[in-house]
Structure 1
Amino acid sequence: MSEEITADQLRQELKDVEEQIAELRRVGGDAEARRGQDTDTSEGYVEPEEIATELTGIAENEAVIDILEQRRERLEEQLKALG
């Protein structure tokens, strides 16, 4: 038996994807705001490795957002096709 995806299922998946995007943007914004800040125990010098780790995390977050945005577009197209 073939399983057909309903418009309601697509809408729910679209809603879930949009929530994930919003959360990742919030987390990414927090990371951007903290980037390069001193910690409580810091003496004013941020290790290059720490900066690289922060930048990598931010870049990975953006890559995941890009994938989710592509998924959102496909879901929107599927919803349009259903009518």
Structure 2
Amino acid sequence: MSDENTADQLRQELKDVEAELAELRRVGGDAQARRGQDTDTSEGYIEPEEIATELTGIAENEAIIDTLEQRRDRIQEKLNSLG
């Protein structure tokens, strides 16, 4: 496999990771914006379980983003080492 094929593959992988990061950040922003809001069926009280579930989802999303950012950095380093 030539360096150019490898570079093209790495560029595509980098593009895919960036797209995934953008989507996760968008979803995370939506979740943060909705955090603590009453649902349509709510009577003004938010169950602690609902809050815990929201916070867990937000934390999991942030962990995935961190992992993808590390992956993006490794891909970028590989690309840089190719020239």
Name the counterpart of 1:60.
Answer: 60
Unaligned runs of 5+ residues in structure 1 are none
Taking structure 2 as the reference length, what is the TM-score of the superposition?
0.94
CA displacement, residues 1-59 of structure 1 (integer Å, 9 cap, x when unaligned): x8976100000000000000000000000000111100111111000000000000000
Specify which structure has the higher proportion of helix. 2
Identity %: 79
Name the counterpart of 1:38.
Answer: 38
- Count how many residue pairs are aligned between Structure 1 and Structure 2: 82
CA RMSD of superposed structures (Å): 1.5
Name the counterpart of 2:26.
Answer: 26
1 CA distance for matches of 2:71 and 2:65? 10
Change (3 A) 1:54 1:3: farther
1 CA distance for matches of 2:58 and 2:2? 38
Unaligned runs of 5+ residues in structure 2 are none
1 CA distance for matches of 2:2 and 2:60? 34
